[in-house]
Amino acid sequence: MKNTITIQEQHYKELKNHLIQDDGKERAAFIICGRSLVNGNEERLLTREVHVLSEKDLLSSERYQVSWNNNHFIKILEKAESKNFAVVIIHNHPENLNHFSSVDDNGEYHLFKLTFNRNGGNGSHGSLIMMSDGSLIGRVWKPDLSNEPISKIRIIGESFKLNYPERTSSFISPEVFNRQQLAFGSSLVQDLSKLKITIVGAGATGSSTALLLTRLGIGELCLIDKDTIEESNLNRLHGATMKDVGKYKVDVLQKYIKEIGLGTKISVEKRWVSDKECIDQLKTSDLIFGCTDDHAGRILLNRFAYFYLTPVIDMGLVISVKEGSCELQNLQGRISYLFPGSDCLVTKGNIDMDIAYAENLKRNEPENYKKLKEEAYVIGEGNPSPAVVTFTTQIATMAVNELINRIQGYNMQALNAPHKIFFFHRGMEIHPENVSNNECRICGMKNYWGRGDMNPFLDMVL
Ligand SMILES: [Zn+2]
């Protein structure tokens, strides 16, 4: 079982400003975290609230030691208790000692003994150390007061940063990624090899995305789609041949990606994204690509990004012609990078609630759907929409470049634009304004950010 943590970028900045100061002293802070558990696979902590310990809260603050009055800590435990949240303690090592000292071991043992005695529960709590360059190491404490290292620390916001114990500036990238390393350096190659990415939808944009991510050197991919290949898909489905008609899209893609032979770990789910198996895949991913036309699926991914602090790069393409003719009316693509700090797809009007309702009804109550459709109470599927491989592939390429930019930062200016719309027939690109402080329950209020596991899932009744 892996232990990992995801830190909201705004929390990281607050912690760094507090902990790393010119006087070179040790300081401390507490973090309240939501939890995400996939049994036997990963326990992930998700930051929600930072409480820094000011000078007056400390009993001592020196070069090698920091101590505080436990009354302050007990208030944090009280806050965490009601929703079974985890508590993480963070301090800095001004001398850059990159492991926990015996003083840390002893202090934390007593701190977490108090924590488990008071709050109970089977979930872990954690501790982090920040070096003077801002890099982090960590470990979790278990109910039996043993501890285990945190194998991955994600910092997510406008950019996406990773910390893991093996991360090194002297990483030698495999020969196959040599040319990519020449452009962006070896640490990007190493970071990409550490990522698990789930792609929801394995159609035109999903198959493009999957193949691009494979050749970029992403370590692990999961593909979710329950559709089979039809002949009319072959004009835009990468990796599929005429012989594959009738087979599952994800099976064909998986076989193709394995044959490329870059060592990509790959799993597939032939299910709806809301099925438990798919949810577990999402919960163990570092990032998700939304490549579905399905509005009900988008509602789920849209919430997931904020609840689980897992960025979603959603993409869409609209091609329309004037009725009864072949005259092009619209040729428009969109990519959205969803994270706590961006407007969500509901706020931006990219999800049609009526269509989502009809899709859910068709899935869960097919008889009822049929009846209501005949009576024209729900929206039925219309005629097939136009699709051209060059544009579906282009929008997927832009979405994958969005990922590279969020990690590597080759175009820093574009980082503050979560939504990008491309009018291909007019040669125009616009970046809709990000409306912070809106009234949306998902992206406007911070209550759900890092909430993690709860009942009902995503606070949503399907
Ligand atoms: Zn919103």
- 24 CA distance to ligand 1 centroid (A)? 41
- 442 CA distance to ligand 1 centroid (A)? 5
- 378 CA distance to ligand 1 centroid (A)? 25
**Mean pLDDT calculated for residue range 141-164:** 97
- 400 CA distance to ligand 1 centroid (A)? 23
Higher pLDDT, 154 or 385: 154
- Burial category of 340 from C-beta neighbours within 10 Å (exposed 0-12, middle 13-18, buried 19 and up): buried
Q: What pLDDT, on a 0 to 100 scale, did the predictor assign at position 364?
A: 84
**Mean pLDDT calculated for residue range 244-273:** 97
Which alpha helices (DSSP H) does 168-269 contain, by range?
A: 178-184, 186-193, 204-216, 249-260
CA distance 395 to 427: 14
CB 27 within 8 A of CB 21: yes
pLDDT band at 276 (very low <50, low <70, confident <90, very high): very high
**Mean pLDDT calculated for residue range 275-291:** 98
Residues 133-145 pLDDT 10s: 999 999 999 999 9
CB 37 within 8 A of CB 50: no
Q: Hey, CA dihedral for 251, 254, 260, 261, is it positive or negative? A: negative
pLDDT band at 64 (very low <50, low <70, confident <90, very high): low
Token readout for 212 is 């691009």
Pairing type for strands 196-200 and 220-224 reads: parallel
pLDDT band at 222 (very low <50, low <70, confident <90, very high): very high
- 19 CA distance to ligand 1 centroid (A)? 32
- 303 CA distance to ligand 1 centroid (A)? 9
- 163 CA distance to ligand 1 centroid (A)? 29
Higher pLDDT, 303 or 385: 303
Q: Under 8 Å CB-to-CB from 211, ≥6 apart: which residues? A: 238, 239, 253, 256, 257
Q: What are the residue ranges spanned by the domains of the chain? A: 2-156, 175-459
**Mean pLDDT calculated for residue range 101-105:** 92
Q: What pLDDT, on a 0 to 100 scale, did the predictor assign at position 435?
A: 83
pLDDT at 236 over 90: yes
Fold of 175-459: Rossmann fold (3.40.50)
Task: Supply the pTM of this predicted model.
Answer: 0.95
- 308 CA distance to ligand 1 centroid (A)? 15
> What is the dihedral angle through the alpha carbons of 54, 56, 62, 66, rounded to the nearest 10 degrees?
-70
Share of the chain above pLDDT 70, in %: 97
CA distance 193 to 134: 22
- 105 CA distance to ligand 1 centroid (A)? 42
Residues 200-214 pLDDT 10s: 999 999 999 999 999
**Mean pLDDT calculated for residue range 431-453:** 91
Token readout for 384 is 């097939």
Q: What pLDDT, on a 0 to 100 scale, did the predictor assign at position 381?
A: 66
228 DSSP assignment: B
Q: What pLDDT, on a 0 to 100 scale, did the predictor assign at position 413?
A: 94
Interhelix angle for 389-408 vs 186-193, to 10°? 110
- 447 CA distance to ligand 1 centroid (A)? 12
- 114 CA distance to ligand 1 centroid (A)? 39
pLDDT at 258 over 60: yes
Domain 2-156 has CATH 3.40.50.300: no
- 404 CA distance to ligand 1 centroid (A)? 25
- 50 CA distance to ligand 1 centroid (A)? 23
In the chain, what's the furthest Cα-to-Cα distance?
78
73 DSSP assignment: H
pLDDT band at 7 (very low <50, low <70, confident <90, very high): very high
CA distance 31 to 150: 16
- 312 CA distance to ligand 1 centroid (A)? 14
pLDDT at 129 over 80: yes
Residues 48-59 pLDDT 10s: 999 998 877 777
φ, ψ (nearest 5 deg) of residue 451:
-65, -35
- 82 CA distance to ligand 1 centroid (A)? 26
- 306 CA distance to ligand 1 centroid (A)? 10
Q: Give the SS3 label for residue 252.
A: helix
- 346 CA distance to ligand 1 centroid (A)? 5
Token readout for 377 is 């109470």
CA distance 228 to 378: 25
Q: What pLDDT, on a 0 to 100 scale, did the predictor assign at position 416?
A: 93
**Mean pLDDT calculated for residue range 327-346:** 94
User: For residue 125, how many other CB atoms are within 10 A of its CB?
Assistant: 25
Q: What pLDDT, on a 0 to 100 scale, did the predictor assign at position 63?
A: 67
pLDDT at 24 over 70: yes
- 232 CA distance to ligand 1 centroid (A)? 35
Token readout for 18 is 């507090």
Q: What pLDDT, on a 0 to 100 scale, did the predictor assign at position 372?
A: 79
- 372 CA distance to ligand 1 centroid (A)? 30
- To the nearest 5 percent, what fractions of the chain are helix, strand and coil? 35, 25, 40
Q: What pLDDT, on a 0 to 100 scale, did the predictor assign at position 382?
A: 67
- 318 CA distance to ligand 1 centroid (A)? 22
- 49 CA distance to ligand 1 centroid (A)? 20
The mean pLDDT of the chain is 93
pLDDT at 462 over 60: no
- 218 CA distance to ligand 1 centroid (A)? 29
- 269 CA distance to ligand 1 centroid (A)? 28
Note whether 2-156 and 175-459 share their fold: no
- 364 CA distance to ligand 1 centroid (A)? 26
Q: Partners of 340 in the beta sheet?
A: 342
pLDDT at 357 over 70: yes
Buried residues in 43-73 as b, exposed as e (16+ CB within 10 A): bbbbbbbbbbbeeeebeebeeeebebeeeeb
Q: What pLDDT, on a 0 to 100 scale, did the predictor assign at position 246?
A: 98
